[in-house]
Structure 1
């Protein structure tokens, strides 16, 4: 049994990762900005036999991250999933930008994963894994425009976590970056290619197979290397 911490656990990919890890018998620390608004997560926790606990955490707020991590106990963490994200300003406009939304995107998707990692790092050791949900929009090979804030934040996340992977290698902590696919979530829309169930199952397998030798790599949910 592994102990798994998941941000953005109240919906979409985060909720499905939570559901699958609980089903696999793992101990899950579900981290969500507003536990009171996460009814599906609450129902899952109630039926989990204590394997799932829910903790308030706003990844954009340093004090909230520290408090949420402290509330989750002191057990060693085997896998940390940084899932929480926002779409940013849509549509992206060349002539004007909503800088408040830009700031929020970077607080949540760049600073947030590092904040959360810092909070849980004392509970992580050799073999622990930090799996960051990125996006194909982060790659320079993405052949479309738009999504300025979201693409920029995910590209920054990728480069930052590659640096983190280098710096944590001596401790044996493994860092991964995953494109989850185009997923049928609130953000991905109903026309997306795969379901949250398929995406989460792929991410779990990729995470399980990740090694220190491939720490810092950018992979797709199906295990293929993502061009960057």
Structure 2
């Protein structure tokens, strides 16, 4: 049995990860930006003794620190940072002719800076595990090898968080923490849309399989949900 923290657990991949880990008997800290609006997560938690809901907004440093204060020095074996933002409408907010600068700033807080602050706030909880895992969800759109234009806000903030994960793996090279970056697939969620290639259940299962197979030597790698290494 492990202690797992899911940041961004209210729906989609995060909700499914919470369900799968809890169903296997693990203790899950399920973090939600707005706990009052976390209807699906509330329903899931009501049927499980293994899920504890915490308020945590990755775009709000005070919220992150408050959550860390409530959790204290409890051991956390795995943290998966799922929370993210899509960056607004691809044409009206993310095209070269229509860049929404304020939206870009907001997404930088959510997609890039927030995950780093979460990592910093809960580092010692992972160290206490003795074999901690920190996984940050990025996207194939953040890879320089991905041949797609547009989506400036989403692509750049996801590229940046991939670099955040890589730097963390170097800074924490002497710590008992494995840091990985994950492309979860094109997933049938509110963000991915119904036409996407895989379900949230398939993505979450693949993510868990990747984490289970990681060792310290894998720290800093960028993975696909199916276990393949994603080119940067």
SS in 1 for 2:112: helix
* Matching residue of 1:37: 37
3-state SS, counterpart of residue 68 of structure 1: helix
Structure-1 residue corresponding to 2:196: 192
Q: Which runs of 4+ in 1 moved over 4 A?
A: none
TM-score computed with the length of structure 2 as normaliser: 0.95
Instruction: Provide TM-score, normalisation by structure 1.
Output: 0.97
The Cα of 1:147 is off from its aligned counterpart by: 1.0
- What is the Cα-based RMSD across aligned positions, in Å? 1.0
1:224 is matched with 228
- Once the two structures are superposed, the pairs formed by residues 9-28 of structure 1 within 5 Å of their partners are 9-28=9-28
Rounded to whole Å, the distance in 1 between the matches of 2:117 and 2:3 is 19
* Cα displacement (A) at 1:57: 0.8
Check if 1:63 corresponds to 2:65.
Answer: no
Conserved 8 A contact 1:134-1:158 = yes
- Aligned partners of 1:148 and 1:197: how far apart in 2? 28
Deviation (angstroms), 1:118? 1.1
CA contact (8 A) 1:6 1:28 kept: yes
What is the CA-CA distance between 1:72 and the residue it aligns to?
A: 3.1
The aligned counterpart of 2:81 is 82
- 1:182 maps to which of 177, 181, 186: 186
**3-state SS in 2 of match to 1:124:** helix
Write the distance in 1 (CA, Å) between the matches of 2:164 and 2:132.
18
TM-superposed CA distance for 1:90, in Å, is 2.1
Contact in 1 for aligned 2:95/2:151 (Cα 8 Å): no
SS in 1 for 2:188: coil
Give yes or no for contact 1:29–1:72 (8 Å, CA) kept in 2. Answer: no
Deviation at 1:99, TM superposition (A): 1.1
For residues 169 and 151 of structure 2, the distance between their equivalents in structure 1, rounded to whole angstroms, comes to: 26
**Residue 63 (structure 1) shift:** 0.7
Contact 2:56–2:63 (8 Å) recurs in 1: yes
Deviations 1:89-116 (A, max 9, x none): 3222212321111011110111110111
1:156 partnered with 2:190? no
Structure 2 residue matching 1:6: 3-state secondary structure = strand
In structure 2, C-alpha distance between the alignment counterparts of 1:205 and 1:55, rounded to whole Å: 25
Q: Which runs of 5+ in 1 are unaligned?
A: none
2:95 is the alignment partner of 1:93: yes
Post-superposition offset of 1:33: 0.5
